[in-house]
């Protein structure tokens, strides 16, 4: 399979979303990829890693940018919490976290910051309010940075390997696929399944915050 047909195949795999994100990343380069990972790193890391297996990107650069963007985003949120006015932070936290969850997060961050930051980062809804909250507490920046780096490293490595080997599997199967439409359908189902399972596991982990 030549690289010339890859954009068309990717367009069929996920429709405009997948192909559009990939085309934007490929056109804009690694700098824009890094900026996007500050906001939404999961889907970009997966797509870029998938593309790396097809020879479009360098997988090591993708991993490095993903890790850098992930940690940088955490640090920004931490310092927003650290230097913002207490009243502004309280209003934001009250809006995004109920009082019970807010008080428990404060307790858990104080007692076991490393484990709690890991749960916050993996959870689908907690990262922004949770990391801002961490900045308002008496957590040393050095400790926070280490926790963020370790969790981000493991998390990003998982996404990069998942995306890269999804692409490898796609190319391997494509060599033997008699009907490309069945391969595309199977890929759609596989990617949807991966993200469904990922969100399901993330939600389960988030719910376990009650048992930290």
- H or E element, residue 64: helix 59-83
DSSP 151-171: HHHHHHHHHHHHHHHHHHHHH
Phi and psi at residue 62, to the nearest 5°: -60, -45
pLDDT by residue for the chain (212 residues), tens digit each? 334 444 443 443 444 455 566 666 667 778 888 888 887 777 788 888 888 888 888 999 999 999 999 999 999 999 998 888 777 766 766 666 666 677 777 888 888 888 888 888 877 667 888 888 888 887 889 999 999 999 999 989 988 998 898 888 777 776 665 556 666 666 666 666 766 666 666 666 555 544 54
Which residues fall within 8 angstroms of residue 28, CB to CB, at 6 or more apart? none
End-to-end CA distance of the chain: 49
Domain that holds residue 158: 3-211
- Of all residues in the chain, what percent are helix, strand and coil, respectively (each to 5)? 90, 0, 10
What letter would DSSP give residue 139?
A: -
Which residues fall within 8 angstroms of residue 68, CB to CB, at 6 or more apart? 34, 37
Please count the structural domains in the chain. Answer: 1
What's the token pair of residue 27?
A: 């056109």
pTM: 0.71
């Amino acid at each position: 399979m030549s690289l010339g047909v890859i954009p068309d195949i990717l367009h069929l795999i996920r429709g405009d979303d997948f192909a559009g994100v990939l085309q934007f990343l490929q056109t804009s380069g690694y700098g824009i990829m890094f900026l996007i990972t500050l906001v939404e790193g999961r889907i970009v890391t997966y797509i870029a890693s998938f593309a790396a297996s097809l020879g479009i990107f360098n997988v090591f650069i993708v991993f490095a940018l993903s890790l850098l963007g992930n940690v940088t985003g955490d640090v920004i949120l931490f310092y927003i919490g650290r230097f913002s006015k207490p009243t502004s932070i309280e209003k934001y936290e009250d809006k995004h976290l109920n009082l019970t969850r807010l008080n428990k997060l404060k307790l858990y961050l104080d007692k076991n910051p490393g484990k709690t930051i890991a749960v916050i980062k993996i959870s689908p809804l907690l990262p922004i309010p949770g990391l801002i909250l961490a900045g308002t507490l008496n957590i040393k920046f050095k400790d926070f940075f280490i926790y963020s780096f370790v969790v981000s490293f493991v998390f990003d490595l998982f996404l990069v390997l998942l995306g890269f080997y999804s692409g490898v599997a796609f190319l391997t199967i494509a060599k033997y696929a008699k009907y490309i439409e069945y391969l595309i359908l199977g890929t759609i189902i596989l990617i949807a399944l991966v993200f469904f399972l990922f969100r399901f596991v993330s939600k389960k982990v988030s719910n376990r915050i009650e048992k930290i």
